[in-house]
Structures are given as structure tokens and as C-alpha cells.
Amino acid sequence: MSIFSAYPKTPRISKAFWCIITEKLDGTNAQIIIENGQIVGVGSRSRLITPGKLTDNYGFAGWVEQNASELVKLGDGRHFGEWYGNGIQRGYGLDHKRFALFDAMRWSGRNVPPEEFPNCVEVVPVIYRGEYSPAKVTEAMELLRYGGSYAAEGFMNPEGIIVEMNGQRAKHTFEHVDGKWLAA
């Protein structure tokens, strides 16, 4: 162990309290695990899943299997997102299901040529990027309340938002603000 250890730099307040606010989609949590350019696992929020009536999660594992050649374009790593649409939670008035990646800081606004990003994947919609303030949270909620979902145009019952700041995420929803289990 070295005797000297530098004290980490303290960020400027304008950078320390920078955030990104995205739409919180109401579907089911999903993940794709890619290693060495191959899909090695598919999961829900709490377990690994496989295609099949009793082993899948709203057909996500089956969809991954069908779209594997596109999905490997995401690159090695664990890719978390929301599987949403027809037959899942709010449904968003869609006649099909979609997969939206959570990591908007990484994927949103990236200048990735279309041939290098899966054509079957989207990114959770970004509502705001900039300095954090409670007013920005309120503003984002009002945009959803009166303008509807950014993910599914015309759908007027969005769930809420996710605020990401300094690597931490927190949700704010229209219903059950303190949690659905506390509301019960």
C-alpha cells in the first residue's frame, strides 16, 4: 500500500447536480447479457428466462432469440431496459411489444450509424438534460400529464419519470407516489 493517497477532485456544483430525466415506461424489466459478441443470457428483473410458455417473461426471451443478430450490435455487457406494449401493464395502445434501453446517458443522442445499432431497439425517451432542480421534475411531469407519453404518441396515461443523477436513479410516478405497497 502506498503511503500517499490523493484527495479526489470536488466537482463544480453546476456539474455535480446535472441530471437526465426520462419517461418511466410501464412494462416489465428485461435484460440481455452479451459476452464475446454472443448473447449468453436473457433475464427479467429477478431471474434468467428462456423462450417457452412457462419460462419466458411476456415473450421477451423468444423475441431476443428471434432478433439475436441485431441485438449483438449492442456490444458486450448487460443491457437493461423495459419490455413494454401490447399485453404488458399499460399497453400504451400498441399492437406489438417494444424494448427500450434504460441507459439514456449512454445511448440517447449518440451518433451511431444505423447499421451499428439494433433496428429493433429504442432508448427510453429523454424529457430533460441539465442542472437538477425540483422545478425541472415538476415540469417533466406536467409535460407527460398534458402531452402524453413520449414513447407512444397519443397515449395519455404515462406512468411517470426517472431522474438519473450521479449514477443514481429515482422514479416519480403519477399514481402511488410513495409506492403501490404503501398505498394499499
Instruction: For residue range 12-54, list pLDDT tens digits in order.
Output: 776 678 899 999 999 999 999 999 999 999 999 999 999 999 9
pLDDT band at 116 (very low <50, low <70, confident <90, very high): confident
CB neighbours of residue 2 within 10 Å:
4
> What does pTM read for this prediction?
0.88
Can you give the three-state secondary structure of 18-62, one letter per residue?
A: EEEEEEECCCEEEEEEEECCEEEEEECCCCECCCCCCCCCCCHHH
pLDDT at 110 over 80: no
> What is the distance, to the nearest Å, from the Cα of residue 67 to the centroid of all Cα atoms in its chain?
19
Choice among 89-93, 137-141, 143-147, 162-166 with the minimum mean pLDDT: 162-166
pLDDT band at 177 (very low <50, low <70, confident <90, very high): confident
Looking at residue 180, its pLDDT comes to: 64
CA distance 81 to 119: 15
Cα distances from 45 to residues 73, 107, 115, 141, in angstroms, run: 22, 20, 29, 25
pLDDT at 95 over 70: yes
On average, the pLDDT of the chain sits at 92
Count how many residues are written for the chain.
Answer: 184
If DSSP codes are grouped into helix, strand and coil, which group holds residue 104? helix
* 38's grid cell: 454472443
> What is the secondary structure of 120-150 as a DSSP string?
TEEEPPEEEEEE--HHHHHHHHHHHHHH--S
pLDDT band at 175 (very low <50, low <70, confident <90, very high): very high
* 97's grid cell: 411489444
Q: What percent of the chain has pLDDT over 90?
A: 76
Burial (0-12, 13-18, 19+ Cβ within 10 Å), 175: exposed
